[in-house]
Structure formats: structure tokens, C-alpha cells
Chain A
């Protein structure tokens, strides 16, 4: 029972949101759009939550604003642009790709590439060193090995 409860908590926890019933639009399709947009917009008070998740007063105001803009006929892009004009790119949880954010977007890939290249060269070099380190057997040693292999094993049936 308790295990099930815990599983249930973890299953449903990511779905927690701050939107209050009174804020929701009557039209389900429009409300769905509002929810989608709210998830893209950062709550600047809490900074790592979207306005859809946040209980901050500003987040509530912005949620209502998003719905008002949708009701007045704005497209999704128009709503987002309206908020970005006032709060800047930082309000977007997925920053746009532009000159200023190029390092942000490409940085991880570049670092991954450098790391992969490093490991590749390290392994290649290690292989070479190991190859050099193993000296082939001389004739005496080969003879000894042959001898040992030729001897019948007394434990064999």
C-alpha cells in the first residue's frame, strides 16, 4: 500500500502546476495553448520555474496576461513576443539561438567533442605503447613453450 502510494506520488508529482481553476479559459483548446505557452515562460521571481509552475504573484499576473492575449486573438508567437519585448530573452526557458547565445548552445557539444578526441588519442597512444612493450619470444623460449604444450597432461583422462 505504502509502496503504491510512493509510486503514485512520484508518478504524479511532475504534473503539479500552479494554475488555479478560476484562471482557466472555458475553451479547452485555448486553455491548452495557454498552458503550452506558460510552460515556455520563465517566472522571473523564482527564475528556475515556469509561470505555469510558480505560485508567485507575477507568475499569476503573467498567466492571466497570456490568456487575455490569446482571447483577443494573438497567435502563440505574438503572445511570446509581447512578453519578450518587456522582459527580454531571459524570460524564455528555451533561449533563442543568436550570436549572444551561440556559446550557450554549442558549448556542450564542443566540450563533448574535445573530450572524445582526448580519449581517442589517449587510447591510441596507450595501444601503441603496449604493442611496443611486448617483446616477441626468442628461440629458446619458443622451444620451451612447444615442449610444455607437447607434454601429455597427466590429469587428462
Chain B
């Protein structure tokens, strides 16, 4: 009788432990329920071709699959209407200054807003394609903005970051992956 009576207590403690671990992970930022694994990890980048941002043809040049082959690069999906994109922007500027190639996909934006955004905050992008319909973003499996992909020399996606890159993540996640992929 006694041996059976401790089973509910045991079950309760087990559940409490699991919940505790989960809460602790949430609190420490180790677990982010919004960050989903990309279905495209280690797969070739999708085939796409985007025009430049209107009236900024010389600066933005447009973006297509072949532009991303043969080098390590970041692909950043952004929009002027997205506040986290604005928050993340200085980090992209720093990376571009260090010589990291960053390509932009301007998601569902108006040419005018995109231009003002870049003029005010700077342009870290080697090339930008304008995805006015949001169709190419679906090819990349994008669901939160901004999103940043690390693409390796062979044109494969090695990492996907959902949401703005904060300075901590830049050093603890993005830089190590860039180093690993560059080697």
C-alpha cells in the first residue's frame, strides 16, 4: 500500500521538475518559443530574382540567387515599417564596416519609405532586392521580421535568425557561425 501511495507524489515532483527546467530555460533566454528551426538549414538557397528598389537602382542593384554564390554572406529580410529592423540596423552597419557581405531583401515596403530608412540609418547592404509582394520571403520560409540567414560559399543556408540580432547574440551566435562557415 505504502509503495503505491508515493506514485502520485513522484509524478507530481517529476512534472514540477520538468516545468521548472522549462521556466528556467525561458528565463535564461536559452529557449525562445518564437524561434523555429528553419526547414532550409543546409539546403541550397531558393531560386529567386528581385528588382532593385525603385528610384534607388544604382545603390540597391536588385538581388538574385546567383549573387549569393561563392562567398559567405548574410541575407537580411527587413522593412522600413518594422521597428525591430530599425533596432537591429546599427549592428548590420557595424558588420558591413568589418567587411561582412550583407544582402537585403526589402519586404513589402514602398520605395519611398525604404529610401528614407536607408538615408537616415545608412545602407549596410551590398545589394538589395525589393520583395513588394512578399512572395520571395515565402520561398525563404520567412515568418518574422527581421530575419537573417547565414549563407556559405556553396550557396547553402547554414543558419537562420528570427527577429532582431541584439549585441549579445551578435557575439555569442552570429560571429561564431560566420567564423565557422568562413573556415
Contact = CB atoms under 8 A, between A and B. Distances in A.
Indicate, yes or no, whether A interacts with B: yes
Interface stretch (B31-39, B90-98, B166-174): B31-39
B139 A86 contact: yes
A86 B133 CA distance: 17
Contact of A86 (B7, B37, B40, B108): B40
A2 B105 CA distance: 52
Contacts, number: 45
A75 to B, nearest CB: 19
Given A45-B144, A65-B138, A88 B1 contact: no
Contact of A129 (B1, B37, B140, B141): B1
A87 B138 CA distance: 8
B1 A62 contact: no
Interface in B73-113: 108
Contacts of A58: 134, 138, 142-143
B4 A121 contact: yes
Nearest to B108: A57
Interface in A113-136: 118, 121-122, 125, 129
A77 interface: no
Interface of B: 1, 4, 7, 36-40, 46, 108, 133-135, 137-144
Given A84-B39, A122-B4, 17 more contacts: A57-B108, A58-B134, A58-B138, A58-B142, A61-B135, A61-B137, A65-B135, A86-B40, A86-B138, A86-B140, A86-B141, A88-B38, A89-B39, A118-B4, A118-B7, A121-B4, A129-B1
